[in-house]
Amino acid sequence: MNKTSSTLLAPLAAALLLGGCSLMPAYERPAAPVPAQWPASADATQPGASHQPDTASVAADELPDWQGFFSDPVLRQLIETALTHNRDLRVAALNLEQARAQLGLRRAEQWPGVGLAVNGSRTPNSSGDITSNYSGGLLVTAYEFDFFGRVASLKEQALAQYLASEAGRQSVRISLVAGVAQSWLALLADQAQLELAQQTLEAREASLGLIRLRFEHGASSELELRQAESLIENARVTLAQYERQRAQDENALTLLLGQPLDSSLRAELAPGRLTTLQLPQLAAGLPSQRLTRRPDIVQAEQQLVASNANIGAARAAFFPRISLTTGIGSASGELSGLFKDGSWGFTLAPQLLLPIFDAGRNQANLDAARAGREAAVAQYEKAIQSAFREVADALAGRETLARQLQAQQAQTTADTRRFELTELRYRYGAASQLDWLDAQRSLYASQQALTQTRLAYWQNQVTLYKVLGGG
């Protein structure tokens, strides 16, 4: 290598030593814009209160995975089916693969690309003769020396986007698990309501036969007959409503599963399953410890990191960009002389590009990157605030729904006893038919409300598991 080449390579070697320079701002996680404790109405510190169902308590730092949280074997089978066949989860996984490929592309840009190049040309000269030129060898084209961290910033951005995609996939997974559980619970409640509506309709039809017989013999008025007929039609209306609701809830579950509901699973739709369900009680812990573990919060923070890295790439665009094209190989005027002794050599072509005038393009790009980062900060803070509200709502729902369920059970017990006594009095003529029909109507409404309250309570438990970040 001659002196000229050494002189040329010296500044490039010095530049390589400076390659660790980065213009990317230092990342600092924004403070969580939420209180340090959950609202007092949430009752986050008493998961095992006496008025709640007798279930095991789980601490915030021991939140189980879905297999540990859902002990029902049928529900586990449904969730496994959904995790295998659900299309939303499949799309999230493919988005993750795309982000991983993009990260690989950015990492590859930090290394020179080496290729094998063979060129040939034949051109006439001024005397009319043909001049031939042939060359071949290894070639490195336009490798950028990352003096100011532009390529490194783009790589960091791609890494953050990949991590955000991974967190997004986890968020979709947790939402899918919770969605399947809640849909199955709704289907169980629909089945219980259908069973209750059918039993009520049969009982009212039997009562109507007795009242019609009494009316034909003058022992009952037409008003009492029409009231009994009204109750029967009301039961038929309710039955049709629950049949429609059950069909729609089954369709929703089918969509989550990604395939039709198996016939063996349909056989598990027993009305009593909802009353025997048990789920662990969850402690919420502190917001600062719990919320940052949620996948959607992690996703929002990684998007913020990506926006921060984008500023570094935008800043680097203001500084010189140095690239190098080099090759080593053989050149000859005849194709047969290629790769022979004496034809070998190398080329070295560094290029420096310093932006002078770009009509404000680089500045606009930097302004856009800064605005994007501020937007990402706002989105991250909004995600934390939304998560705080979701957990606080679920905790408040657990406390109030537990008391509501206890009161509703007591009311149903009282209405059942009232109906039994009223029916006994009616048979012996101590109570009017209106009293008997009113007691029957009140009992049916109380039984419906009990099923709905029980469904709301267990669905809220599933929601709490979801908003705390899943397992």
pLDDT tens digits, residue range 340-349? 766 677 777 7
- What pLDDT was estimated at residue 270? 74
Count other C-beta atoms under 10 Å from residue 379's C-beta: 16
The model's pLDDT over 37-65, given as tens digits with 9 standing for 90+, comes to: 888 766 655 444 434 554 555 555 567 78
Can you give the pTM of this predicted structure? Answer: 0.82
For residues 376, 380, 383, 387, the Cα torsion angle rounded to the nearest 10 degrees is 170
List, in order, residues 6 or more apart from 354 with CB less than 8 Å away: 320, 321
**Window from 50-59, 110-119, 293-302, 313-322 with minimum mean pLDDT:** 50-59
Contact 16, 111 (CB under 8 A): no
Contact 302, 164 (CB under 8 A): yes
- What pLDDT was estimated at residue 193? 93
Band (4; pLDDT cuts 50, 70, 90): very low
Residue 371 clears pLDDT 60, i.e. is over it: yes
Q: Does domain 18-110+146-320+355-467 have CATH number 3.60.20.10?
A: no
Q: Hey, where are the domains in the chain?
A: 18-110+146-320+355-467, 112-145+321-354
Place of tokens 């961290």: 149
Helix or strand holding residue 438 (H, E): helix 433-467
Residue 87 in tokens = 């299309």
Helix or strand holding residue 279 (H, E): none
Contact 405, 449 (CB under 8 A): no
Helix or strand holding residue 70 (H, E): none
Helix or strand holding residue 220 (H, E): none
Place of tokens 């592309």: 105
Amino acid symbol at 220: S
Amino acid symbol at 330: S
The model's pLDDT over 7-36, given as tens digits with 9 standing for 90+, comes to: 444 444 444 444 456 788 888 888 888 888
Q: How many helices (H) and strands (E) does the chain have?
A: 12, 6
Per DSSP, the three-state class of 39 is coil
Residue in 383, 362, 402, 363 with CA at minimum distance from that of residue 469: 383
Q: Helix, strand, coil shares of the chain as percentages rounded to 5?
A: 65, 10, 25
- Give the percent of the chain with pLDDT over 70: 87
The model's pLDDT over 193-236, given as tens digits with 9 standing for 90+, comes to: 999 999 888 888 888 888 788 787 877 778 878 888 888 898 89
> Strand 57-58 and strand 281-282: pairing?
parallel
Residue 148 clears pLDDT 70, i.e. is over it: yes
- What pLDDT was estimated at residue 18? 44
DSSP label at residue 325: E
Give mean pLDDT, residues 120-146: 76
- What pLDDT was estimated at residue 46? 47
The model's pLDDT over 430-461, given as tens digits with 9 standing for 90+, comes to: 888 788 888 988 999 999 999 999 999 999 99
Cα–Cα dist 155/255, whole Å? 38
- What pLDDT was estimated at residue 53? 52
Cα–Cα dist 274/403, whole Å? 18
Angle at 160 between CA 144 and CA 363, to 5 degrees: 55
Q: Any idea which fold 112-145+321-354 has? A: Outer membrane efflux proteins (OEP) (2.20.200)
Angle at 470 between CA 468 and CA 471, to 5 degrees: 125
- What pLDDT was estimated at residue 12? 43
Per DSSP, the three-state class of 119 is strand
List, in order, residues 6 or more apart from 345 with CB less than 8 Å away: 328, 329, 330, 331
Alpha helices (H) along 217-294? 222-257, 263-266, 273-276, 287-290
